[in-house]
Structure 1
Amino acid sequence: MGKIKDIDRVNYVIHFFSAGDTDYWLYHENVLDELKKHFGEIDYISDELDFQKYTYYYNMEMGQNVKIKARMISFKNLYSPGFLADAKTITNSLEAKYAVDGKRKINLDIGYIHHMQFVLASTKPWGNRIYLSKGIYAEITLMYVYEQWKAFDHSYQNFKDKEYQDILTEIRNMYLEKRRKWLSGRK
């Protein structure tokens, strides 16, 4: 019988995207303050990314004549990966709070980085997703193998892109340092 061990902590991240200027939603509409209230201090916000070059799917909801931009956001504190279902319900409620006439103006895709993988939460079941709780599923979107991210057929196109993977590597490097300190504090 295997011995149950304390679980490793992970670095929660959000792929935030919105119609138009992301700074408007993050700072003027105070989405960033809401995120800090729920997930703690932020230690990384990427430059604005052109998310629309990967899909027009969200334009039906966010607006046909707008450019959809994104940012990756990382949180300073490490949490249990078991928090993912709760984290997704929080981000869903924030999306609903800022919706207009039932249409989202912001999208908050929450997940986490572990030294071996990048995991995203979803409300949609699929063959590659594992049910967690509260109607939330987890998907290993990328694995970190031989010092690089490995995508899968099911991985979202943006996370297959070098630009996104470079950002995730930067966040992963920060995570490794935080994890090292966390592990040394447990001894």
Structure 2
Amino acid sequence: MGEVRNVELVNLVIFMFSAHVDYWLETIKGELEAEFGRIDYVSPLLDFEKYTLYYNEEMGSGLMGRLISFERLIHPSLLSVIKLKTNDIEQKYSVDGKRRFNLDPGYIHHMQFVLATTKMWPHRIYIGNGIYAETTLLYVNGRWKDYDFTYPNYKEPEYKAELSKIRELYLEKRKRLLKLLSAR
């Protein structure tokens, strides 16, 4: 019989994309930080539109994104609630039912990058509140490994490089937390 262990905290990451991502990030930054804590990293602009035109009718053309990391570590069981909150923020700024930006929350653990979604597929696991989770990338042998089902943008070196930067931040936070806990 396996022994039940404490679950490690993880690093919340939100991928935000929009035709005007910097404007919208500046507009909602306070709300994001009020909900999820201080932002500790924002990636450079990442091209999103070259991977899909699916969102263009709703959000316009020229979609760019940024990966956003939060300082405060979270329990992974909170991911479904976080996805509901990000959906609420998207809806709050929608015009005539069309979103101005998209917020895709997930988390980085030292071994994986997980995304939340409302869409069920066979490789996704239901985590509650109408939300599913997908292990989008696996970190093994010093690099991110993608899967056949991984979204095309997350297969790209520029996205993986930014996720590696956030992973390094996470490892430092994790090390500080473990040091603090062992001092007790």
Calculate the TM-score normalised by the size of structure 1: 0.95
**1:13-24 correspondence runs (5 A):** 13-19=13-19, 21-24=20-23
Equivalent residue number for residue 55 of structure 2: 58
CA distance in 2, matches of 1:2, 1:144: 24
Equivalent residue number for residue 36 of structure 2: 39
CA distance in 1, matches of 2:105, 2:156: 18
**1:117-156 correspondence runs (5 A):** 117-156=112-151
1:115 aligns with 2:110: yes
How far 1:3 moved relative to its partner?
A: 1.9
- What residue identity is the alignment partner of 1:17? F
Unaligned stretches of 5+ in structure 2?
none
1:73 aligns with 2:72: no
Equivalent residue number for residue 26 of structure 1: 25
Report runs of 4+ in structure 1 exceeding 6 Å deviation: none
CA distance in 2, matches of 1:176, 1:43: 14
CA RMSD of aligned residues (A): 0.8
Equivalent residue number for residue 8 of structure 1: 8
CA distance in 1, matches of 2:25, 2:14: 12
Question: SS state of the match for residue 88, structure 1?
Answer: helix
How far 1:2 moved relative to its partner?
A: 2.0
- What residue identity is the alignment partner of 1:137? Y
Unaligned stretches of 5+ in structure 1?
none
How far 1:38 moved relative to its partner?
A: 0.5
Question: SS state of the match for residue 172, structure 1?
Answer: helix
**Number of equivalent positions:** 182
CA distance in 2, matches of 1:146, 1:10: 20
CA distance in 2, matches of 1:163, 1:47: 10
- What residue identity is the alignment partner of 1:25? W
Equivalent residue number for residue 175 of structure 1: 170
Question: SS state of the match for residue 164, structure 1?
Answer: helix
How far 1:168 moved relative to its partner?
A: 0.2
CA distance in 1, matches of 2:178, 2:6: 11
For residues 150-176 of structure 1, the C-alpha deviation after alignment (integer angstroms, 9 at most, x for no partner) is 000000000000000000000001100
CA distance in 2, matches of 1:167, 1:49: 9
Identity among equivalent positions (%) equals 53
Question: SS state of the match for residue 32, structure 2?
Answer: helix
CA distance in 2, matches of 1:2, 1:50: 44
